[in-house]
Amino acid sequence: MGTLFLRRLSRWQAETERDQIADLFATALRDPAPDAAPPDRAGFLRRFVDHDVQQPEFDLVLAGDPSPVGCAYGFLAERDGGWWSRFRERPEVLPQLAESRRVFIVAELLVHPRRRGQGLAGRLQRELLSRASAPLALLLLEPGDGPAQAAAQALGWSKTGQLTPNEGTPLGAWTIPLGRHG
């Protein structure tokens, strides 16, 4: 499988690499079931370029061998900032979020199927969260996504409630205190 390299990308580099990151997104989230809908690559690209990369303290770690095989990125969300306006339920539904003025949102944690089970998700998470300035990180997961929830739990995340997008169904809110994300 070759040597695996982790590298941090600036906003500009992330935008330059956006097509490769979108390809990784589509591959990592592709369901092997024949009738499953393919991941929304175009929607991911719009959200990534128009929203996520523009957020405060945007940070991205890309794993390659040399082509991208893993990616983790996120950004800082102030308690009173615009990110929370995307949700009908306010962060006060989660006691830990209400106590914290700042939360680091892990927007994506992707691993190519051929690299799963090798500890890459943990490496990406540790590297991404190592520079976060907030005391708490938040990860949102679909309620019915058992494999993602099991992976989050294995990486040290705890389910602490839910947030409901303005359009859509409630998402499980998983948190991890920063400083203990080993």
Query: Tens of pLDDT along 68-88?
Result: 999 999 999 877 777 788 887
> Residue 30 falls within a domain, yes or no?
yes
pLDDT exceeds cutoff 70 at 33:
no
> Residue 134 falls within a domain, yes or no?
yes
d(CA 154, CA 125): 12
With tokens 């935008």, the residue in question is 15
The mean-pLDDT minimum among 90-99, 101-110, 142-151 falls in 90-99
What percent of the chain lies above the pLDDT cut of 90? 58
* Residues whose CB falls within 8 Å of the CB of residue 90, separated by 6 or more in sequence, listed in order: 84
Give the CATH number of the domain where residue 10 resides: 3.40.630.30
> Residue 182 falls within a domain, yes or no?
no
Q: What is the mean pLDDT of residues 1-29?
A: 92
pLDDT at 182: 45
> Residue 145 falls within a domain, yes or no?
yes
Q: What are phi and psi of 59, to 5 degrees?
A: -145, 140
Does this model's pTM top 0.75? My answer is: yes
> Residue 94 falls within a domain, yes or no?
yes
Residue 143 belongs to domain spanning: 5-177
Query: Tens of pLDDT along 148-169?
Result: 999 999 999 999 888 888 888 8
What single-letter amino acid sits at 2?
G
pLDDT at 31: 75
3-state DSSP assignment of residue 96:
helix
Instruction: Look at the chain and report how many structural domains it folds into.
Output: 1
> Residue 49 falls within a domain, yes or no?
yes
> Residue 172 falls within a domain, yes or no?
yes
- Are 111 and 124 in contact, with CB atoms under 8 Å apart? yes
Mean pLDDT of the chain: 88
Query: Tens of pLDDT along 10-23?
Result: 999 999 999 999 99
Kind of pairing between the strands at 5-9 and 102-111: unpaired
